[in-house]
């Protein structure tokens, strides 16, 4: 009887919004990979979607007590995997951030986002002292994010490493931090920025410089953003039609099925298509935040806030990257970009959030 009630409480509005974006993603991936060696990608994405749905229900039915108790072991498991990539990771495109097993390729840094949120939620959920917190109280969270960000940055995947820091910052700011602590952290970051810039690899520095001036190297490091802007601008109000985009079909847009998938959508469906996508993303974000009503503990509240913020911020950064408002950092558009790792981790996170309503 209890299992029957649990199934009856599945939030089909949440699943419907999520599946709508995933379906839109597969549709655009099909156009972006219509011919050539990527032609099988829409089918693979559909296969990953089936796995992602299983991950959703895994998170949905997970016992909340075990979720909190297992937060630290889960963190250390992912930490060990990230460190192990230095030895056994699969090299793809000059980076070592993949695990290849059973015909599937998985990127552990995607699940690391969720593992970090759970670890931070457990830490702050068990703090007996009241916020706002000082530097001594957030020292452990800083170490937690560094434990993931450093090995990810060495893969190298600076974009994901910086995003992990951003996720931690959102959770910490939501909990509450003293102004004096924020000043110290901001000053330290500003002082370290010049040294970090020159420590970057050449292509990473070029991305930042071309963000400031995309026209300085339009056929080199600035090519991605220039072509993306052309595709978005040429779509007009209603687009050129499905699989009729010249920039996408002639393969002028690099990584058009992953990082720049919004450029394909804008060219073929125009501003109207982008507006539909933005509407779904906004509705989904607001709906996820509404689950705070069902959170009975600080841990639950921080998990919901962390997962929702991670989803919304990654979507905003990806779209801003495609239009040249932010540097190219290699973050996929959640639910829509090709990639099983991101899809599975996103559905798992949403399932965890949905599970709090089940326990009303």
Q: Please compute, for residue 95, the number of CA atoms within 13 A of its CA located in the half-sphere on the CB side.
A: 18
Residue 7 lies in a domain: no
Number of domains in the chain: 1
More confident residue, 347 or 359: 347
Residue 188 lies in a domain: yes
- Name the phi and psi angles at 254, rounded to 5: -70, 145
Helix (H, G, I), strand (E, B) or coil at 99: strand
In the 8-state DSSP scheme, what is residue 257? T
Nearest alpha-carbon partner for 135 in 183, 90, 102, 101: 183
Distance from C-alpha of 82 to C-alpha of 287, rounded to nearest angstrom:
32
Residue 2 lies in a domain: no
Output the six-digit token pair for 31.
């156009």
Q: What is the pLDDT of residue 121?
A: 96
Looking at the predicted structure, is the pLDDT value of residue 317 above 90? yes
10 Å Cβ neighbour count for 5?
A: 9
Q: What is the pLDDT of residue 246?
A: 83
Residue 1 lies in a domain: no
Predicted TM-score (pTM) of the model is 0.91
Q: What is the pLDDT of residue 157?
A: 82
Confidence of residue 203 (pLDDT cuts 50, 70, 90): low
Residue 353 lies in a domain: yes
Residue 209 lies in a domain: yes
Q: Quick one: three-class SS letters along 305-328?
A: HHHHHHHHHHHHHHHHHHCCCCCC
Residue 4 lies in a domain: no
Give tens-digit pLDDT for 76-108: 999 999 888 866 655 555 566 677 666 677 888
Residue 5 lies in a domain: no
Whole domain around residue 93: which residue ranges?
13-358
DSSP string, 208-238: HHHHH-GGGSTTTTTHHHHHHHHHHHHTTTT
Distance from C-alpha of 306 to C-alpha of 11, rounded to nearest angstrom:
20
């Amino acid at each position: 009887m209890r299992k029957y009630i649990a199934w009856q409480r599945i939030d089909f509005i949440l699943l419907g919004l999520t599946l709508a974006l995933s379906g839109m993603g597969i549709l655009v991936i099909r156009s972006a990979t219509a011919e050539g060696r990527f032609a099988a990608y829409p089918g693979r994405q559909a296969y990953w979607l089936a796995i992602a749905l299983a991950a959703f229900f895994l998170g949905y039915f997970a016992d909340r007590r075990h979720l909190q108790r297992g937060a630290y072991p889960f963190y250390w498991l992912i930490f060990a995997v990230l460190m192990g990539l230095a030895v056994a990771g699969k090299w793809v495109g000059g980076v070592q951030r993949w695990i290849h097993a059973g015909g599937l390729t998985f990127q552990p840094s995607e699940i690391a986002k969720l593992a970090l949120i759970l670890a931070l939620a457990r830490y702050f959920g068990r703090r007996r002292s009241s916020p706002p917190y000082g530097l001594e109280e957030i020292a452990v969270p800083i170490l937690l994010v560094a434990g993931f960000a450093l090995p990810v940055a060495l893969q190298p995947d600076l974009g994901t490493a910086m995003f992990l820091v951003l996720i931690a910052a959102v959770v910490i700011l939501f909990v509450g931090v003293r102004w004096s602590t924020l000043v110290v952290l901001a000053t330290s970051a500003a002082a370290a920025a010049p040294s970090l810039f020159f420590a970057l690899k050449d292509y990473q520095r070029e991305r930042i410089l071309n963000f400031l001036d995309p026209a300085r190297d339009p056929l080199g490091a600035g090519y991605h953003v220039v072509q993306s802007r052309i595709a978005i601008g040429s779509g007009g109000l209603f687009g050129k039609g499905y699989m009729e985009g010249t920039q996408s079909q002639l393969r002028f847009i690099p990584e058009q099925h992953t990082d720049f998938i919004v450029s394909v959508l804008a060219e073929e469906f125009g501003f109207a298509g982008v507006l539909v996508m933005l509407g779904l993303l906004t509705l989904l974000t607001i709906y996820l935040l509404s689950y705070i009503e069902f959170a009975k503990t600080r841990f639950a509240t921080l998990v919901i806030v962390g997962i929702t913020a991670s989803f919304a911020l990654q979507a905003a950064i990806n779209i801003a990257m495609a239009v040249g408002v932010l540097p190219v950092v290699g973050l996929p558009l959640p639910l829509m970009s090709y990639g099983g790792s991101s899809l599975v981790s996103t559905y798992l996170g949403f399932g965890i959030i949905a599970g709090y309503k089940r326990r009303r």
